Structure 1
Amino acid sequence: MLLLKIALLPFVLLATVILVMVTHVAGTTLHHRLAWAPVTAVVLRSETLCEVTYQPRDAVLRAVAALGSCEETGSVVLPEGGTKPRTVEGVYGALVYSVDGTAQTWEGKLSDAGIYKASAGDEFLLYYDPSSPQDIDTAQYKGWLGGLLIFGFSAGIIAFYGWLVRPRRKGPADSGGKPMDAGGRPGASPPHIAKGRPRQRFGRA
């Protein structure tokens, strides 16, 4: 049983991380839907670009070497000491929307705003942070069915492990055949038999 608990521990830790991530994404989306203000945004520009990232020699996080046409990524030269080049394709563009009568323009990777496919002129219902209008999101649950299955599977692993390691109350079979006293401790004499005294017989002597 101990080996089983140890073997399952990495899976439980992974399931816990996944559960926290799914809960965070769902909670953030719900917060944006309830606390942010809705607005209609129009796509001004949309194009597919490739971002080339690399691992700097003196840094932990990856850095961006270039962002441009996907046909030109092969000619990108990394900075000195840079290693592990990686090319990621994405849809980049610009959005325009109005907040309290003031036009706001947002530019960047459209997936950061929750948009994964768009053309110039398309309209999307977005939500923006009233305290920071440049923070926008579609606040839509993408792939909610798959997320729900992952959530349920991860929660099931954690629940099973919790059941496996829970403290168990010892029964009579766990006392090695010895009698149990009223408090559940093995080795005590039965309460109805007093030590050193014979049983009293009923009736006349």
Structure 2
Amino acid sequence: MAAIMFVFARFLLMPFVLIAVTLFAMALHISGTALHHQFAWHQTVATVTDVSSYSEAQGNGLTAKGINVAVTYVANDAPMTWSGKGKDIGLYTASKATR
């Protein structure tokens, strides 16, 4: 009787073991990815080349103010440019030639 209970308990606990193994694998993957990004990606310096303010209406009737920016930077020894909302790259105030 004890052997039968052991078999049943093993099958009842198997989903919990599989969930625990899956969560451990996910945590390991997230930690590994974060470490890879920290060591493999290098911070770059961007220079603001153009700034203009904007105001947009949101769905709830409020307005959001911000800046549109154009920046230049060097990545892998190639000059690059980007333009868009400043808040997308963490800029909330800027002037031309800001680094």
TM-score by length of 2: 0.54
Structure 2 residue 73 is matched with structure 1 residue 118: no
Shift in Å at residue 35 of structure 1? 4.2
1:33, distance to aligned residue in structure 2 (A) = 4.9
Structure 2 unaligned spans of 5+:
1-30
Partners of 1:35 and 1:113 in 2: how far apart?
A: 20
Cα distance per residue 1:41-77 (max 9 Å; x no partner): 11011122112233xxxxxxxxxxxxxxxxxxxxxxx
Say if 2:46 is the partner of 1:41: yes
Counterpart in the other structure of 2:69: 93
Residue 57 of structure 2: aligned partner: 52
Q: 1:101, CA displacement in angstroms?
A: 2.6
Match in the other structure for 1:16: none
For these two proteins, the number of residue pairs brought into alignment is 66
Question: 1:85 is paired with a residue of what secondary structure?
Answer: coil
- Any unmatched runs of 5+ in structure 1? 1-26, 55-83, 124-205
Counterparts of 1:19-168 in structure 2, within 5 Å, are 33-54=38-59, 84-123=60-99
Higher helix share: 2
Do the aligned partners of residues 33 and 49 (structure 1) sit closer, same or farther apart at CA in structure 2, a change above 3 Å counting? farther
SS of residue paired to 1:44:
strand
Deviation track 1:74-98 (CA, whole Å, cap 9, x = no partner) reads: xxxxxxxxxx433100122111111
> CA separation in 2, counterparts of 1:33 and 1:95?
23
| 3-state SS of 1:122 partner | coil
Deviations 1:143-169 (A, max 9, x none): xxxxxxxxxxxxxxxxxxxxxxxxxxx
**TM-score normalized by the length of structure 1:** 0.28
Task: State the identity as a percent.
Answer: 29
| SS of alignment partner, residue 112 of structure 1 | helix
